Amino acid sequence: MLNILAVCGAGLGSSFACQMSVDAVLKELGVKAKLDHTDISSVSGTKADIVISGANFKKQFERYELSCPTIFLDRLVDKKEIKEKLTPVLKELGEL
């Protein structure tokens, strides 16, 4: 199953709230996935298929050179933005 990881600074607030919003968007799109959340310092070496994080972490992510698609959000809880940015990635991965 598709693994999606939400990432923020502390790994329990913004990322968890983001995970809840992603969950709602996925339900709307009819895509099943396993969701989790973590903090920025634990993300390197992740086995997730998609990583979602805040735009302010872009620079840090460049250092990690993750092999999976990474989505950067200006508003971590904004379902409209999540849907807009997640849909093309899901299509690319053949989930939609």
Partner 1 sequence: MKGLVLNKENVRLQVEANTWEEAIRYGAGMLVEQGTATQEYVDGIINAINKLGPYIVVADGLAIPHTRPEEGAKAIGCSLITLKEPVIFEGNDPVSVMICFSAVDSESHMDILKMIVEIVDQGIVEKIARMKDVDKLLKFLEEI
Structure tokens at 10: 């502390």
| Residue 85 φ then ψ, to 5° | -90, -25
The one among 68, 69, 79, 85 contacting partner 1 by CB under 8 A = 79
Q: Which helix (H) or strand (E) holds 28?
A: helix 14-29
Structure tokens at 8: 């923020």
> Residue 13 interacts with partner 1 (CB under 8 A)?
yes
Nearer to partner 1, 24 or 96 (CB): 24
Judged by CB under 8 A, the stretch of 27-35, 49-57, 61-69, 84-92 that binds partner 1 is: 49-57
| DSSP, res 92 | H
Chain residues in the site for partner 1 (CB under 8 A): 8-14, 16-18, 20-21, 24, 37, 39-40, 54, 56-57, 75-79
